[in-house]
Amino acid sequence: MATIRVRNTGQVIEGEPAVKAFLEDNGVYYEHWTLERIPADMRDKFALTDDEKQRILESVQDDIERLAKARGYVKWDLISLSEATPDLDVLLKKFEQVHTHTEDEVRAIIAGSGIFVIKGRDDVGYFDIRLQKGDVISVPENTPHFFTLTEERQVVAVRLFIDPSGWVAHPYNDPAFQAQA
């Protein structure tokens, strides 16, 4: 289950109702999927072939289509990051830069864990949301954020897009981010 840490106060928010309320108050969409439909041999597997990725996507197709219909997403894929990913550290350095997009950035965590660092309301500042298996988040367009892995260093996630070509990161230089790190 997701947990939040507000960087400038150290406040920790836990429990689905409290997490969801905090995120809604900061313009971020959140829901939780049950994942028992994923084939047993695909659960907690991080080095995936294209066929295995397709099997996972097919197993959560109903959830994907429901979310896509409700929020306007037209394309999705599945990513897997782990120690088996070539140049993982280089890739993470690229991810760990505050940026924005011209559309939502959506992740549905299928296995492993990750952290979004998101700029909330002015009175909140930046907060970290640690996502676990089943957590689904949509960071709104033009919201400063970045995504990284937890100390576990592995995640499998569905990404959903409004623009079929995917999203482009626009760097966001924010001195307040450095102050709250």
Q: pLDDT tens digits, residue range 108-137?
A: 999 999 999 999 999 999 999 999 999 999
Per-residue b/e over 143-180, b at no fewer than 16 CB within 10 Å? bbbbbbbeeebbbbbbbbbbeeeebeeeebeeeebeee
Q: Which of 38-52, 89-103, 136-150 has the lowest mean pLDDT?
A: 89-103
Between CA 173 and CA 181, with CA 177 as vertex, the angle to 5 degrees is 140
Q: In the chain, what are the domains? A: 3-180 (2.60.120.10)
Mean pLDDT of 42-68: 96
pTM for the structure as a whole = 0.93
Are 118 and 28 in contact by the 8 Å Cβ rule? The answer is yes
What pLDDT band is residue 180 in, cutting at 50, 70 and 90?
A: low
Are 167 and 101 in contact by the 8 Å Cβ rule? The answer is yes
Are 53 and 59 in contact by the 8 Å Cβ rule? The answer is no
Report the run of H or E that residue 161 belongs to, with start and end.
Answer: strand 155-161
| pLDDT (0 to 100) of residue 171 | 87
Mean pLDDT of 46-68: 96
